[in-house]
Amino acid sequence: MQDNWHRRGILAGLAAMPVLPALARNGGIMSGPVQPTWPSLVEHYRTPDWFRDAKFGIWSHWGAQAVPEQGDWYGRFLYMQGHPMYRQHLEAYGHPADTGMMDVLNRWTAERWDPQALMQRFVKAGAKYFVSLACHHDNLDCYDSRHHAWNSMRVGPKRDIVGIWAKAARAAGLRFGVSNHASHAWHWYQPAYAYDAEGPRKGERYDAYRLSRADGAGKWWQGLDPQTLYTGRHMVAPDGIESMSAMDQWHAAHNGQWIETAPPGDAHYARQWLLRQIDLIAKYRPDFCYMDNHELPFGPIGLAAAADYYNRSIQWHGKVDVVLTAKQLKPYARGAMVQDVERGFSDHLWEEPWQTDTCIGDWFYNRARFTDKSYVSAEAVLQRLADVVSKNGNLLLSVPQRGDGTIDAEAENILDDLGAWMAVNEVAIFGSRPFHIYGEGPTQLAAGMQNEGAFKGFDTRDVRFTVKDGALYIFFLKPPRAKARIAALGKARWAGRIARATLLGHGEIAHSHGQACLELDMTTSPAIVPVVRIDGSGIGSGTKPI
C-alpha cells in the first residue's frame, strides 16, 4: 500500500512535496491522527451512517457557464473554432480574441436566485443532502475565496454563493456539501491560448494569450490577472495550424485528456489548489465533498487535502463523520473514501457504500433541453434511485439552473413529481439497507461511467429490493399492471415467510407464495415505480437464500 502511494507521487506530486511541511507549520493543513497516505486514510475512514441513510441528494451544479444557456463546457468550447458554442459566442458576445470566458464570468449575476424557495422544493422532492458547486473547470471560485482572486465576491454575482447555499441547506435540515473541479482547469483552458485556424481572423490569438494584469487598468477587472484565471501557457497550440480539423486534433492529442497531475514545471498550481481546498473546507465545514477526479489529484497534494478534511472532521465531530468522493478507485484506495460513478450504472450489489451522480439535463443549463423537452423524466429518476439504493448506493441528482438562478417550468414539474412519489413511498428508500440480492429482471445494465446514453429502459419484470425495520420492499421499475411473479422470492430460493403484502398508497394486495415464485396482484398500481411492502418473518438484510 505504501509503495503504491510513493509510485503515485510522480511529476508535480513529488515536486510539490516540500510545500506540505511548510503549510502544516503555518497552520494551513490540519494536523491530527490521519496522515496523507492511503493506508492512514483507509485506517481512519468509515462511511457515516447519515450518508447511508440519506440515499438521495440534490446538486446545484451552477455557475457562470449557465449564462449562455448552451450546456456543458462552454468555457472550453467557445475557443474551438467550428464548435456550435464558438459560433454562438461570436453571435452573442463577439470574437474570443476580444471577449472571452472571463467576460462571461462577469455576466453571471444570479439576479433572480431564491435559495430558500429552491431548497424548500428540493426538500419536498426528497433530498436529504444538498451539494453546491464550489469551483468548476472555469476556475471561478463560487465563494469568498481567500487564495484565489477570481471568485464570486469580486466577479459576477458579487455574492458568496457557497455560503448562502450552506445557510439555506442547513436551515432546511439538510446535510451540506461542496464540489471541487478546479484541479483540471489548467489543461481544460488551454484552447483559450489558441487561435482561429481559418477565416478573417486567422492566426490571431485568443484573449488568454494576450492579456495580463496591466491590461485591466480602468476596466471591470482592474487588479485581476487573467493568467491566474486561465492558468498560464502549459500546452499552447503552435503557430501554423491551417485548418479547424487540424486544430481540433492538436487539442485532442495534447490537452484533451483527463489529467490528474499538475501542469509540467508548475508545482505552484497544485500548491494553490491545496490552499483553496483547505480554505473551502475550513470556511464552510461541509459534510460532503465531491472531487471531480480519478482518485485524488496531484499525488501527495491530494492526499494531504483528504487528510486535512478528515482531521478537521475529528476536530468538529470527534470522529470522521464526513464523506469525500472520487472516481475510479483502485483497490488500495477502497475504504479511504466513497467511490462515485458519474452518469453510469452498476451491475452488482456493492459491499461498500457508493454514489452515482447524474442530471436531468446537461450539467450547465441548456435551453434546448427545455424547448425540445429532452429532460430525464421523474419516472426515470425514480427508477435510477431504486436501482442504486438496492445496490448499496446513493443518488446525487443535478437540477440545472439558469444564469439568473431560476429553474425552468419543466424542472419544476419533475421535482413536483418526485415529491408526490416520495410522499407515498419514501419509507422504502430513506434509512433502508440492501437485501441479500438487489433484485431480478431481464434488463442487463452495463457497469461503468458515462454510459447512460446507451440505456434503452427497464422492463415490467425488473424489480429491486430494500429492507428496513424488518420489512422487505419491492420496487417495480415499470408497473406490471397484472399478476407479477418474482422468482427470487419463491420458497425454493428464499427462506422468508410472508404474512401480508401491501401496495404503498393503496392497501393490502393478494399474494401467493409458492416454491417457484412470489406472485403479487399488481393489476391496480400507480403509474410510476409502484412499491410493495412485504411483512413476515426472516426478512431482514441478513436473510440468506436457500
Is the pLDDT assigned to residue 541 strictly greater than 60?
no
pLDDT digits (tens, 9 = 90+) for 416-426: 999 999 999 99
pLDDT digits (tens, 9 = 90+) for 228-247: 999 999 999 999 999 999 99
d(CA 106, CA 62): 14
A 10 A CB-CB count for 125 gives 22
Mean pLDDT of 535-543: 76
Average pLDDT along the chain: 94
Mean pLDDT of 442-459: 93
pLDDT digits (tens, 9 = 90+) for 352-392: 999 999 999 999 999 999 999 999 999 999 999 999 999 99
Q: 480-511 burial string, b = 16+ CB within 10 Å, else e?
A: beeebbbebbbbeebebebeebbbbeeeebeb
CB 468 within 8 A of CB 497: no
Domain layout of the chain by residue ranges:
2-71+113-187+270-428, 439-537
Which is nearest to 181 in space by CA: 83, 268, 294?
Answer: 294
Mean pLDDT of 331-344: 96
Helices (H), 130-256: 161-171, 185-188, 207-210, 226-230, 244-254
pLDDT at 19: 60
Mean pLDDT of 193-209: 98
pLDDT digits (tens, 9 = 90+) for 9-66: 333 343 445 566 666 655 589 999 999 999 999 999 999 999 999 999 999 999 999 9
CB 400 within 8 A of CB 432: no
d(CA 432, CA 128): 13
pLDDT at 14: 39
CB 315 within 8 A of CB 33: no
Is the pLDDT assigned to residue 114 strictly greater than 70?
yes
d(CA 537, CA 383): 27
pLDDT at 27: 52
Contacts of 134 (CB under 8 A, 6+ apart): 141, 142, 143, 162, 178, 179, 180, 280
Strands 393-398 and 354-359: parallel
Confidence of residue 73 (pLDDT cuts 50, 70, 90): very high
Long-range pairs of 506-514 with CB within 8 A, sequence gap ≥ 24: 513/489, 514/490
Mean pLDDT of 247-262: 94
Contacts of 487 (CB under 8 A, 6+ apart): 440, 493, 516, 517
Is the pLDDT assigned to residue 98 strictly greater than 80?
yes
> What's the predicted TM-score (pTM) here?
0.95
pLDDT at 454: 87
Single-letter residue type at 186: W
Strands (E), 320-429: 323-327, 338-342, 354-359, 393-398
d(CA 204, CA 256): 22
Mean pLDDT of 102-128: 98
pLDDT at 5: 31
pLDDT at 243: 98
The hierarchical CATH code for the domain 2-71+113-187+270-428 is 3.20.20.80
Which CATH fold topology does 439-537 show? Immunoglobulin-like (2.60.40)
